[in-house]
Amino acid sequence: MSETPASARSGAPATRAAQVRPATEGWTQKKDAEGRPLLQFASPKRGKPPVHLADLTPPERIEKVKELGLPGFRAKQLATHYFTHYTSDPAHMTDLPAGQRDELVAGMLPPLLTEVRRLETDRGDTIKFLWRLHDGALVESVLMRYPGRITLCVSSQAGCGMNCPFCATGQAGLTRNMSTAEIVEQIVRANRLITEGGLGGKKADDHSMERVSNIVFMGMGEPLANYKRVMDAVRVMVAPQPEGLGMSARGITVSTVGLVPAINKLADEDIPVTFALSLHAPDDQLRDELIPVNSRWKVDEALDAARRYFEKTGRRVSIEYALIKDMNDHPWRADLLAEKLNARGRGWVHVNPIPLNPTPGSIWTASDKDVQDEFVRRLNDAGIPTTLRDTRGKEIDGACGQLVATTEDEAAAAAMA
């Protein structure tokens, strides 16, 4: 479906004529038989990661411990070590019988993530981790301290099958889905680091116990393409300690480029996570090129599903919108976005425009400041709460859509293997 700019419909002159079209830079997008960008929904078959306590429900943990020849109550002790002390080190588990500790830990808490590289900002309040999984696949997470909260941006897949032309992660396609425990372990490792005082920016007079308070599924991968494991991971995050991490569902943001059936499924779960739709364009003409999955589910279908999420959960939905110079930042697009959101009711949504980094010579570059401001103003004036998002992680190349292992990272991982 092609969209008519609001300015053209109203007869008003377009304030900006330039239209940069999405295109890959320095790599070629894989295409399907019809010549459209290839979409990969199914995870390639690879050796599964070892089963870990965080993959199992509490009754399954008890069974597994019994299989290892120990009484079932040891499962809870192990869960306490893992989910409240963030440790997988048998030496710390003095309440377990010394003779069986190593075997129990090897069977229930096998190593899942090997740290390959860590980058941090000068203040140390933003840290990017590069992890190697058991089969050599690389994923990243980014830990960020904000006033009053600590957010971890987690990966849900190694690589991604959604093939967005601006995104480094999608270039190599989908390597595989991450397991539930691989997703959870990113949080446990971050909490371990925080407990050890490794996250900077804490005030000298603040002696509170800290841990990750917010999760955003905006690292590598399309979370709703790995639905079951992501939702199982969310269940572990919100389960009360010691059976889980005891986090608030509201602090967990699940984002998607618009897998409509999965959005509907998410709305029917009884877990009121925050839902974010990465829209980036309000018109199908542009979005078909910018977000290839739009060829499957159109803007209106994705927005209808987002609205349904609000109706079912009462949780206000976020619309993510990366502002890209002369590509999607036109005033008429702000108006069209407002029109489409308002057509679905009031008070159900807010928009987070995301300023890109200025990248000289690239078509994927930041909108001018006045254009950003105008975009935000138009949405706010139309009654849509809109706030420019903080993209601090970009300082270390760790912001969403940029998470990819560089050649250097690959070399570091190979050296450790």
Q: Is 120 in the site for ligand SF4 (CB under 6 A)?
A: no
Is 279 annotated in some ligand binding site? yes
Annotated catalytic residue 153: no
Q: Which helix (H) or strand (E) holds 410?
A: helix 407-416
- Distance from C-alpha of 101 to C-alpha of 356, rounded to nearest angstrom: 49
Is 167 annotated in some ligand binding site? yes
Q: Is 160 in the site for ligand SF4 (CB under 6 A)?
A: yes
Residue 30 or 134 with smaller CB distance to ligand SF4: 30
Tally of helices (H runs) and strands (E runs) in the chain:
12, 11
Sign of CA dihedral 132, 135, 137, 142: negative
With CB under 6 A as the rule, give the number of residues binding ligand SF4: 12
- Residue type present at position 393: G
Q: Which of 120, 140, 289, 320 is catalytic?
A: 140
CB of 111 to ligand SF4, least distance (A): 26
Sign of CA dihedral 297, 300, 306, 311: negative
Helix (H, G, I), strand (E, B) or coil at 184: helix
Residue number of the CB closest to ligand SF4 reads 170
Q: Is 170 in the site for ligand SF4 (CB under 6 A)?
A: yes
CB of 162 to ligand SF4, least distance (A): 4
Q: Among 105, 307, 401, 405, which residue sits at the site for ligand SF4 (rule: CB under 6 A)?
A: 401
Annotated catalytic residue 60: no
Report how far apart, in Å, the C-alpha atoms of 25 and of each of 55, 276, 361 are. 39, 27, 10
Query: ∠ at Cα 249 (338, 77), nearest 5°?
Result: 160
Lookup result for tokens 């960008």? 37
Q: Which residues contact 105 (CB under 8 A, 6 or more apart)?
A: 78, 88, 89, 90, 93
Q: Which residues contact 228 (CB under 8 A, 6 or more apart)?
A: none
Q: Is 140 in the site for ligand SF4 (CB under 6 A)?
A: no
- Distance from C-alpha of 403 to C-alpha of 408, rounded to nearest angstrom: 14
Query: ∠ at Cα 331 (326, 337), nearest 5°?
Result: 105
CB 168 within 8 A of CB 408: no
CB of 163 to ligand SF4, least distance (A): 6
CB of 286 to ligand SF4, least distance (A): 15
Q: Is 230 in the site for ligand SF4 (CB under 6 A)?
A: no
Q: Is 262 in the site for ligand SF4 (CB under 6 A)?
A: no
Which one of 29-37, 162-170, 187-195, 318-326 is the stretch in contact with ligand SF4 (CB under 6 A)? Answer: 162-170
Q: Among 139, 142, 237, 257, which residue sits at the site for ligand SF4 (rule: CB under 6 A)?
A: 257
Residue 167 or 351 with smaller CB distance to ligand SF4: 167
CB of 406 to ligand SF4, least distance (A): 16
Q: Among 53, 79, 130, 167, which residue sits at the site for ligand SF4 (rule: CB under 6 A)?
A: 167
Is 255 annotated in some ligand binding site? yes
Q: Is 162 in the site for ligand SF4 (CB under 6 A)?
A: yes
Query: 214 - beta bridge partners?
Result: 151
Q: How far apart are the first and last CA of the chain?
A: 49
Binding interface with ligand SF4 (CB under 6 A): 160, 162-164, 167, 169-170, 220-222, 257, 401
Residues carrying an active site annotation: 140, 400
Annotated binding residues for S-adenosyl-L-methionine:
221-222, 255, 278-280, 357
Annotated binding residues:
160, 164, 167, 221-222, 255, 278-280, 357
